[in-house]
Structure 1
Amino acid sequence: MARLLTEVFAPAVLAAVMPVVIGAHAGNVGWGLVGALFCAVVPYGMILRGVRRGSLSDRHIGVRSQRTGPLLFGLGSVLAGMGLLAAGGAPRELIALIVASFAGGVIATGINHFWKSSIHTGVAAGSAVVLVIVFGPVLLTSAVVVAAVGWSRVRLEDHTIAQVVVGAAIGAVVAGVVFGLLR
């Protein structure tokens, strides 16, 4: 169950789904797909390439010292997507999501130099907060997913409880503030 939760709600999965959901909500799935391309497909493709070449330990980059390069590459991809979305006139709500993703990524990358916070729970918590802001309090139930993802990361011994809590707090606060202000 822990492995299933880790895979189904992995950062790349949520980074692919959330722009499409927000794009659809804003009336433009096409722009959501563009956001998904730059936030998930391109960065995850680079990670898979690194795993195949043996320069990365696994798809989740469990070795902290291997995370900086892929995180920086991912930030560059998100930044390029953000520029394209803004220049092309994508919906404001979608751009707000991408900016919040970028801000969360910058903070996660900075923390990664010193400590291994859980990006899985950060992305899950950020996604949950955005869903609540967009669709209302009925989606407070998505907090169950955040807790389940946190449990899975600890159960698989990929993170400590503190790393999961810090990751979730960062994701929730950054998404709430950035997305909330920009949408």
Structure 2
Amino acid sequence: MTTTTDTPHTLALLGRRLSDWADPKNTIVAVSLAIGCGLYGWPGLGWAVIAIVFAAVIPMIYIVYIEGNGNWADRHLTDRVRRITVLPVISGSVAVGLALQYATTAQRPLIAMTAAMWATITAVWPITVLAKYKISVHAAVTAGSFAMLAQAYNPWWLIGYAFVALLGWARVAVREHTVSQTITGAILGTIVAGGVYALLA
């Protein structure tokens, strides 16, 4: 039987699991495959893999094994100061992936998707440095992904914002962000990723 004392612990555990499951790298993998393979089948897989490697795999290797000395537990960059040096590296990696997609004549929606990823992570950096504000990258990436999927497929994907709200709760529950930081992240992801995708796709 769950007691009142156990409830906060249970909610925190659920929040942590949701945060880990829906972290930015996993979301990037999902949206890349959805747009790449979903729109173009197997031919789109190669371009999706480029986005995955340079926007998810390489950044995670850098965060954990190079900058983080193998500390997998802090892969979410809980310390805002660490983000100051990490975010430019991620931005540069995504830019290389974007250049490769362009060089290999990827379809416009794939290029637009990767450009949207680059624009989002690049926009987070000045907010982190100049405003000294720990905006939620989880919320930004997830909201931006649903904004792109709604354009790539149909507006029904906007229902996914219910999940963005749930993820925002999770980030607050594990005390990684405030409510305002998750809301700001979701707004930024929607405007930047959604806007860039709309312009380029």
Instruction: Return the TM-score normalized by structure 1.
Output: 0.95
Letter in 2 for 1:96: A
Q: Quick check: 14-23 or 173-182, which moved more?
A: 14-23
Identify the residue that residue 117 of structure 1 maps to in structure 2. Answer: 135
Counterpart CA distance in 2 for 1:122 and 1:91 is: 24
Q: Quick check: 1:121–1:149 contact (8 Å CA) kept in 2?
A: yes
The number of residues matched between the two structures is: 182
Deviation at 1:53, TM superposition (A): 4.7
Q: Deviations over 1:123-146 (max 9, x none)?
A: 010011111111212212211110
Counterpart CA distance in 1 for 2:28 and 2:156 is: 22
* Structure 1 runs not aligned, ≥5 long: none
Q: 1:20 aligns with which of 12, 30, 33?
A: 33
Matches within 5 A, 1:1-183: 1-27=14-40, 28-49=44-65, 50-53=67-70, 58-113=74-129, 114-183=132-201
Q: Report the 3-state secondary structure (helix = DSSP H, G, I; strand = E; otherwise coil) of the residue aligned with 2:69.
A: helix
* Structure 2 runs not aligned, ≥5 long: 1-13
Letter in 2 for 1:12: K
Where has structure 1 moved over 2 Å in runs of 4 or more? 50-54
Q: Deviations over 1:35-92 (max 9, x none)?
A: 11111000011111133356x9711010000112211111110000000100110111
Counterpart CA distance in 2 for 1:69 and 1:151 is: 27
Deviation at 1:24, TM superposition (A): 1.1
Name the CA shift for 1:29/1:53 in 2 (closer, same or farther; >3 Å). Answer: closer
Instruction: Return the TM-score normalized by structure 2.
Output: 0.86
Counterpart CA distance in 1 for 2:106 and 2:39 is: 9
Identity of aligned residues (%): 33
Name the CA shift for 1:2/1:53 in 2 (closer, same or farther; >3 Å). Answer: closer
Larger Rg: 2
Q: Deviations over 1:99-133 (max 9, x none)?
A: 11111111101111121111110001001111111
Counterpart CA distance in 2 for 1:137 and 1:16 is: 21
Q: Quick check: 1:5–1:152 contact (8 Å CA) kept in 2?
A: yes
Q: Quick check: 75-84 or 18-27, which moved more?
A: 18-27
